[in-house]
Structure 1
Amino acid sequence: MTGLTDEWGGTGWDSLARVARGRWVERRPRRPEVAARLLMETRLMPWLAPRLPLPVPVPHVLHREPLVVRHEMVAGDPLETFDAVSGRTLGAFLRALHATDPAEAVRQGAPPAREALRERAATVEDFRTRVVPLLPDDRRGAASALLDAVAALPAGALVHGDLGPEHVLARDGAVSGVIDFGDAHVGDPALDLAWALHGAPPAFARAVAAEYGAAPELTERALLWHRLGPWHEVTYGLDTGDRDTVRSGLEGVLARLPA
């Protein structure tokens, strides 16, 4: 996992990170509400890691005040080779993750389905209030329909919650690990398949679907989540006052909405 130094930095929205002694990744929250997610990882990941077929971070609390968590570095760099072999490896990983016992995951610290659904409802309402009015009049109907559909999706499996190519690591041409479980919760498994099935190159996507055993209904739900992705960029830009991020997010929202 390269790209970090001994200085606090990183490009994540939620955490600052650094490498310590060339072996450890240390993270601290950018905002107070992120602290709870970091602490959740320190409880969940020691239980989850042995159940997965790829290395994942297993953090522990290094300092309480200010909060810093540390985990041994997972080898590799963000995935750049999207071939069928990598797709099968990721598909097997997601199948194993989603097969873990959600009730036990909650006992180990993962947010339960009721909490995830409550947060989803709040997010959908925020999107409806702040993003839909920024869209052209003739696209607002499709945007509102997407939000209605996402609000009704199920929640019954432990999910990574923020799976994209930046969180899948590769080394020597092979997938070597998956990182950043701060958004893990009991939710819709289609969320983790959104990018892999609908944002990745076709050969990779087909291999993920085949290895995972993705049914058509699950693939359709993943498309809804994929369409929702850029909405988060819009609200992040609004929250931080970054007009370029808002503009980029709106372009993504419109590009992914059905005509």
Structure 2
Amino acid sequence: MVAGLSDEWGGTGWDSQARLVRGRWVDRRPRRPEVAVRLLTETRLMPWLAPRLPLPVPIPHVLHQEPLVVRHEVVVGEPLETFDAVGGRTLGAFLRALHAVDRAEAVRHGAPPPREALRERAATVKDFRTRVVPLLPDERRDAASALLDAVAALPARALVHGDLGPEHVLVRDGAVSGVIDFGDAHVGDPALDLAWALHDAPQAFAQAVAAEYGVAQELTERALLWHRLGPWHEVTYGLDTGDPDTVRCGLEGVLARLPA
């Protein structure tokens, strides 16, 4: 099975639309011009990266240049919904392998390098200060600003997926069967990929990820910072698209995750 895909252009992704072709291929096209660069990056990075990972991942190629469409063979499965220790160990092993690949080689195959990732992070933090912090209650703004300061100072030292959540981890016949959506892959902080798994997944799953990966306390603490930052993106997405419900939901998440 292929979750959420049909033979019509659709999908709920923020960055691209997708359709299933003859039950075998997934075609993707960008929703915005800047996303086209990311899709093209995937066509360079993923053929090199895929053989180095212990789970199937998409390996896209350019199908059409104008308008841009990239195609990859289906990675079969449904989004992760059952969070057991076996799945946690499988994901922990996957992330350990991903973060261990040669980052210089990853950059040579198209991954955004650390300086570019840090520059983009700085721009994002600045945008959050400008547009999100003023929407928060006065008494929470100091904590929000401290979070942004901490995130801005985090390292960029390994190739990361960049947008890892249960919707991007696939399961087939009860076992983790693949990881998808590498459009945000870059050389960044490996704690980013552990944020959801360690701080928003059920305990047995989180503990299994940590044990298999070999997570140290300092990495857990950095992952918590990234977890707290997650809803901020929802706020700015809602502002960009004129969707007040998304903004409201995002702000609720920001406040819920900020330390008291």
The question of a shared fold, defined as TM-score above 0.5 by the shorter chain, is answered with yes
Post-superposition Cα deviations, 1:176-196, rounded to whole Å, max 9, x if no partner, equal 000000000000000000000
Deviation at 1:3, TM superposition (A): 1.4
In the other structure, the counterpart of 1:255 is: 256
- Tell me if 1:73 matches 2:74: yes
1:75-224 equivalences in 2 (<5 Å):
75-224=76-225
- Name the CA distance, whole Å, in 2 between partners of 1:171 and 1:142: 41
- Match status 1:18 vs 2:19: yes
**3-state secondary structure, aligned to 1:127:** helix
Matched residue SS, 1:109 = coil
Task: Name stretches of at least 5 consecutive residues in structure 2 with no aligned partner.
Answer: none
- Counterpart-to-counterpart distance in 1, 2:96 and 2:4: 29
Please give the per-residue CA displacement for 1:202-226, whole angstroms capped at 9, x wherever unaligned.
Answer: 1000000000000000000000000
CA distance in 1, matches of 2:54, 2:69: 27
Residue 57 of structure 2: aligned partner: 56
Aligned-partner residue type, residue 65 of structure 1: E
Which amino acid letter does the alignment assign opposite residue 162 of structure 2? Answer: G
Counterpart CA distance in 2 for 1:72 and 1:130 is 39
1:110-131: CA deviations, max 9, x gaps?
Answer: 0000000000000000000000
CA-based RMSD of the aligned residues comes to 0.3
Q: Which amino acid aligns with 1:45?
A: M
Q: Report the secondary structure of 1:19's partner residue.
A: strand
Displacement after TM superposition at 1:2 (Å): 2.1
The separation in 1 between residues aligned to 2:231 and 2:121, in whole angstroms, is 15
TM-score, scaled to structure 2: 0.99
What is the CA distance between 1:20 and its match in structure 2?
0.4
Q: Distance in 1 between matches of 2:241 and 2:232?
A: 14
- Structure 1 regions of 5+ residues with no counterpart? none
Over 4 Å off, 4+ runs: none
The code of the aligned residue for 2:117 comes to: A
Tell me the SS of whatever aligns to 2:177.
strand
**Following TM superposition, by how much is the alpha carbon of 1:39 offset from its aligned partner in structure 2, in angstroms?**
0.2
**Secondary structure at the counterpart of residue 148 of structure 2:** helix
Q: Cα deviations across residues 138-176 of structure 1 (Å, max 9, x unaligned)?
A: 000000000000000000100000000000000011000
Q: Deviations over 1:49-85 (max 9, x none)?
A: 0000000000000000000000000010000110000
